[in-house]
Amino acid sequence: MTGFGRADGSVAGHGFVWELRSVNGRGLDLRLRMPPGCDVLEPALREAAARLKRGNVSATLTLTREAEAKVAIDAAALEQALAAATALAARIEGSPPPRAEALLGLPGVMRVGREEFDLGADAAAAEVLRRGFGAALAALLAAREAEGARLAEVVVRLLDEIAALRERAEAEAAEQPRLHRERLAESLRQLLAGTPPVPEERLAQEIALLATRSDVREELDRLAAHVAAARALLAEGEAIGRRLDFLVQEFLREANTLCSKSASGALTTTGLALKAVIEQLREQVQNLA
């Protein structure tokens, strides 16, 4: 299920932003992206994110310094540079002594002061960032719940369509025995033209056999049962994605059998319409948790 959550704040002289993004996935796959020194947070964050239950989730922490970085001199590097420059100047006759600005411009002598952000040594800062993650997680959960409510409305509408098509198929299936009789009688008239007619009893036996093979009442009954089961799962409203996905496979199986047993164009058309709606249902169910 898709969703987005964001939270920001400040901690230890830094501004921080948590951004959580979620897309559909069968299991829970949490990917954390944090600056160096924040790895100590990972166990607690993974424990908190278990509330999501499923989805491919990326969580990104961005830190920015609130105060300007300070320029500092690396004393050891400066001493080494000065000694080397003085020794070189002594070896070259008439060479002027080393100038301060030249020494300060050497690589490594001047550096921008960057404090290492180590949460292992700052429990208070770690707690602030954990709370920030919790706020972003709550926003993500709210977004996913809102999307889930919208998806549930779509699923209910598709189930209503399936139920209506099933009722139409039931009415059309009632014509199957008559159609079989007419087709069989016509075929026999063409094959046995000029020969004695087939006894009515024999014709009735063949029609009964065909009607038994093409009886779709079981498929229609199972479709009704699957619709009822899907509605019951929606009423539960939690951790239903996989169970609905299994039900959709059963929907498709019954619709395929209905089409294969059809003896009329009308019933075949209804069966194909059923398959189209069930496919739409399958796509929506993939996004449910």
Q: What is the mean pLDDT of residues 2-29?
A: 87
- Residues 206, 276, single domain; the answer is yes
Instruction: Check whether 164 has a pLDDT greater than 90.
Output: yes
Q: What is the mean pLDDT of residues 39-43?
A: 90
Instruction: For residue 182, give both structure tokens.
Output: 């007419």
In this prediction, residue 154 carries a pLDDT of 92
Co-location of 13 and 61 in the same domain: yes
List pLDDT tens digits, range 87-103.
Answer: 888 888 778 888 888 87
Predicted confidence at residue 105, as pLDDT, reads 79
Residues 136 and 261 in one domain: no
If asked whether residues 158 and 187 sit together in one domain, one would say yes
Q: Clarify whether residues 100 and 208 are in a common domain.
A: no
DSSP secondary structure string, 14-73?
A: EEEEEEEEEE--SSEEEEEE--TT-GGGHHHHHHHHGGG-SEEEEEEEEEEESSPPEEEE
% residues pLDDT > 70 (the chain): 79
- Length of the chain as a residue count: 289
Band of residue 281 on the pLDDT scale cut at 50, 70, 90:
very high
Which amino acid, 239?
A
Residues 107 and 169 in one domain: no
Query: Within this chain, do residues 157 and 225 fall inside the same structural domain, yes or no?
Result: yes
Q: Which two tokens stand for residue 40?
A: 């100590």
Same structural domain, 180 and 281: yes
User: What is the C-alpha radius of gyration for the chain, rounded to an integer number of angstroms?
Assistant: 37
Higher pLDDT, 289 or 151: 151
Per-residue CA distances from 185 to 44, 176, 182, 199, 264 (Å) = 76, 14, 5, 11, 16
Can you give the pLDDT at residue 224?
93
Tokens at residue 277, please? Answer: 């709606």
pLDDT number for residue 140 = 93
Query: For the sheet containing 14-23, what is the strand order?
Result: 3-11, 14-23, 55-65, 28-33
Question: Are 133 and 185 in the same domain?
Answer: no
Most confident of 191-195, 266-270, 273-277: 273-277
Residues 93 and 217 in one domain: no
- CATH classification of the domain holding 203: 1.20.140
Neighbours of 88 (CB within 10 A): 11
What is the distance, to the nearest Å, from the Cα of residue 18 to the centroid of all Cα atoms in its chain? 20
Specify the pLDDT at position 81: 82
> Is 244 found in the same domain as 186?
yes
d(CA 202, CA 219): 28
Q: What is the mean pLDDT of residues 163-192?
A: 73
Lowest mean pLDDT among 24-28, 146-150, 164-168: 24-28
Predicted TM-score (pTM) above 0.75: no
Q: Name, in order, each residue with C-beta under 8 angstroms of 277's C-beta and a sequence gap of 6 or more.
A: 158, 161, 162, 165
- 6: closest CA among 18, 15, 14? 18
Token digits of residue 214: 């093409």
Mind listing the pLDDT tens digit for each residue in 42-56? 999 999 999 888 889
Domains in the chain: how many in total? 3
Q: Residue 121 — φ and ψ, nearest 5°? A: -105, 5
State which of 127, 143, 159 marks the end of a domain: 143
Q: Which of 122, 28, 13, 15 is nearest to 70 (CA)?
A: 13
Percent of the residues in the chain that have a pLDDT greater than 90, as a whole number: 34
> Does 76 share its domain with 200?
no
User: In sequence order, what are the residues at sequence separation of 6 or more whose Cβ sits closer than 8 angstroms to the Cβ of residue 274?
Assistant: 162, 165, 166, 169, 223, 251, 255, 258
Q: What is the pLDDT of residue 213?
A: 60
Domain that holds residue 201: 145-285
Q: What is the pLDDT of residue 137?
A: 94
